[in-house]
Chain A
Amino acid sequence: MITAGIDMGSRSIKVVLLEEIKVDGAPQLKYAVKKAHVMLPGEMDADEAAEKAYDEALKAAGVTRDDIKAVFVTGAGRSQVKFATEGVTEMTAGARGANYMFPQVRTVVDVGAEEGRGVKVDADGKAIDFAGNEKCAAGAGSFAEAMSRALQMSLKEFGEASLRSDKTIPMNAQCTVFAESEVVSLIHASTPSQDIAKAVLDAVASRICAMVRRVGIEESVALIGGMAHSVGFVASLKKALDVQDVLLPEMPESISALGCALIAAERQQ
């Protein structure tokens, strides 16, 4: 049985196809990722963009729509995906996906392009509480991206640069626009770019951490979403959360899509 999970993010669409593995002829609750993920930038027509991403994933995996038992969808634009079997929220999808990758995880931190959230997860991978940023981008990936642009770096370079800094510069992360003007002031003051990068990522991590504290920080903690690719952010987050370790899955931006595919498969049992 193959199921599909689609995460309709605000900046990109992620698709995961999951195939059930049969051990000794009996269906087991184990799965193999048929196609790791397909990422396409989001478009104005969410349904059309989802169709495109889905078809690309099917093609890459060498299967057709008829082979797919169910398509579950999550993300900001999920209600617009007409061909989906069912939808679940990002909290539920992220919790299930992270739990599959790391069964010991109890706190999932999900930082995507426009949302950051903390989700408390039980042993079965069910989201039992959550908190998220509401009407601002300061606690999310697009904030870090905007700041890296101000320093003329890629987000990857930005994260790596921050690791070279041992300075702590307090920065207002309440508002992306004001924070950008702070970055400009720091540039004018000839502050080394790695120190500015660290200040920005510390500020994002601090804001995320404040949100996660609302649901309680219980180890193990996993970080999912695109910001998990930033080594500097991971270091800042680990320090802010004051935890032993932050677990990082492969393809962190596709964990919610994976969670969707898993839930789709489990609902077919």
Chain B
Amino acid sequence: MNDGLFDQFKTWYEKRHDYARDWKARTGGQVVATMCTYTPEELLIAAGMLPVRVLGAHEPQNVTEPHIFGMFCPFCRDSLAQGLLGRFDYAEGVTLTQSCIQYRQTFNSWRMHVPTVQWDYYVPMPNDVQSPHARKAHYAEVQSFREFLGALTGKPLTDEMLKEALAVVDENRTLLRKLFDYRKEANPRVTGVEALYASITAQFVDRREHNEMLKKVLAALPTRDLNRPEGVRFMTIGSENDDVAFMAMIESVGGTIVIDDQCSGTRHFWNASKPEDDVIKAIADRYCDRPACPTKDYPNHTRYDHVLGLAKEYGVQGAIFLQQKFCDPHEGDYPDLKRHLEDNGVPTLFLEFDITNPIGPFRIRVEAFLETLGEEELF
């Protein structure tokens, strides 16, 4: 059944560059290409800018070899290709907040070689967020970013501007959590593909518009009946992955994706900020407290219990690792996280992703995974 409830999110996703150009024409604001979901978007929004996360196009490309190695992860290569191919020619700025070294090289190549870039900013957020010094250091870095943006626009970012932006982003996080709550239900009234459209678009659509759309969807959900078989309840785990064709394939062969631990999904919006008198502290701490990416999850591996907790809370019957090839941080976590899930009754499937993916062979693997999970006694 398609009642069109999520069509606006789908349109935003499919025409994201058109959306950004239109937003710019409407508002006269600057667009900033952002890399990594640790980027404190609140500051950019407070400065009247539109943060647009750089996503790949999942198309073969031949432009990144002079700049980054072929053994850098496909997402980094695909992201850089989008810049080099001029797909973000509307973006004045580009920012990265430190996460993995491959992403940093993508950012460095982008700011050096994408001719439309007018300014760039690198936020050297500590990776060891568990260090007692991390919050203080990150506070100082967010403050520096604030000063940079104030100088860039000629309009210092006041506490009031930052508080207003933080309130908008926190509302977005809260609304997305409410939407995701519906996925806990038996036979959820939101599919994984729909949830992906809703959550990924929060990374490049004006958050105020996104909030209004989320409110409309949330108002309609209580009476929605998808009338589709639930099948096996899956969780997806990995880094950035917005391969809609793959997600749709999973949901076409007898499964429903009910939750994720990905930066294209929950890791981006899962926690709101905590109330603080000092707005910079509220913003900076929120990023230290968010569900960790593997690059920021040591010496203690907090994400293993976080992922397992999500699996339990959402009634997950099988977890699929969407491993970006050559993504060292996630590959490093994989053996232990797999064991942790399986020891606690959550079977796993590992699939290695590239810029383009072989849906046919992946379908066979997902179907075989379903057969191994099947309660039906085949023999």
What residues make up the interface of A, taking CB atoms closer than 8 Å to B? Answer: 76, 88-92, 96, 124-132, 134-135, 214, 262-263, 266-267
Contacts and interface: CB of A to CB of B under 8 A. Distances in A.
B53 to A, nearest CB: 27
B333 interface: no
A96 B378 CA distance: 10
Given A92-B378, A127-B368, A135-B354, 5 more contacts: A91-B372, A126-B378, A127-B372, A132-B361, A135-B358
Most B Cβ at <10 Å: residue of A76, A92, A96, A132: A92
Most A Cβ at <10 Å: residue of B350, B358, B365: B365
Contacts of B378: 92, 96, 126, 263, 266-267
Contacts of A88: 371
Given A124-B379, A266-B378, A90 B352 contact: no
Contacts of A96: 378-379
A253 to B, nearest CB: 18
A125 B379 CA distance: 8
Contacts of B354: 135
B93 to A, nearest CB: 36
A134 B354 CA distance: 11
Contacts of A214: 350
A80 B367 CA distance: 16
B353 to A, nearest CB: 10
Contacts of B360: 76
Contact of A90 (B350, B358, B364, B372): B364
Nearest to A100: B379
B364 A134 contact: no
Interface string B338-379: 000000000000101010001011001101100110000011
A128 B372 contact: yes
Contact of A126 (B358, B365, B379): B379
Contacts, number: 46
A91 B369 CA distance: 9
B309 to A, nearest CB: 24
Q: Which 9 A/B pairs are nearest by Cβ-Cβ distance?
A: A89-B368, A91-B368, A92-B371, A89-B367, A124-B379, A266-B379, A128-B372, A89-B364, A127-B372
Contacts of B379: 96, 124-126, 262-263, 266
Contact residues of A: prevailing secondary structure: mixed
A265 to B, nearest CB: 10
Interface of B: 350, 352, 354, 358, 360-361, 364-365, 367-368, 371-372, 378-379
A126 B361 contact: no
23 contacts: A76-B364, A88-B371, A89-B367, A89-B368, A91-B368, A91-B372, A92-B368, A96-B378, A125-B379, A126-B372, A127-B372, A130-B368, A130-B372, A131-B350, A132-B361, A134-B358, A134-B361, A135-B354, A262-B379, A263-B378, A263-B379, A266-B378, A267-B378
Nearest to A75: B364
Contact residues of B: prevailing secondary structure: helix
Most A Cβ at <10 Å: residue of B354, B360, B361, B368: B368
Nearest to B373: A128
B144 to A, nearest CB: 44
Nearest to A114: B361
A84 B318 CA distance: 29
B370 to A, nearest CB: 9
A134 B371 CA distance: 19
Contact of B371 (A89, A135, A267): A89
A214 B321 CA distance: 14
A259 B352 CA distance: 28
Contacts of A132: 361, 365
Contacts of A262: 379
B343 to A, nearest CB: 14
B74 to A, nearest CB: 12
Nearest to A92: B371
Nearest to B364: A89
Given A89-B364, A90-B364, A125-B379, A134 B372 contact: no
Nearest to A263: B378
B11 to A, nearest CB: 31
Nearest to A129: B372
Most A Cβ at <10 Å: residue of B352, B361, B378, B379: B379
A214 B351 CA distance: 13
A93 to B, nearest CB: 10
Contacts of A263: 378-379
A89 B362 CA distance: 12
Nearest to B362: A134
A261 to B, nearest CB: 13
A129 B350 CA distance: 11
Most B Cβ at <10 Å: residue of A125, A128, A134: A134
Given A96-B379, A124-B379, A266-B378, A91 B371 contact: yes
B351 to A, nearest CB: 8
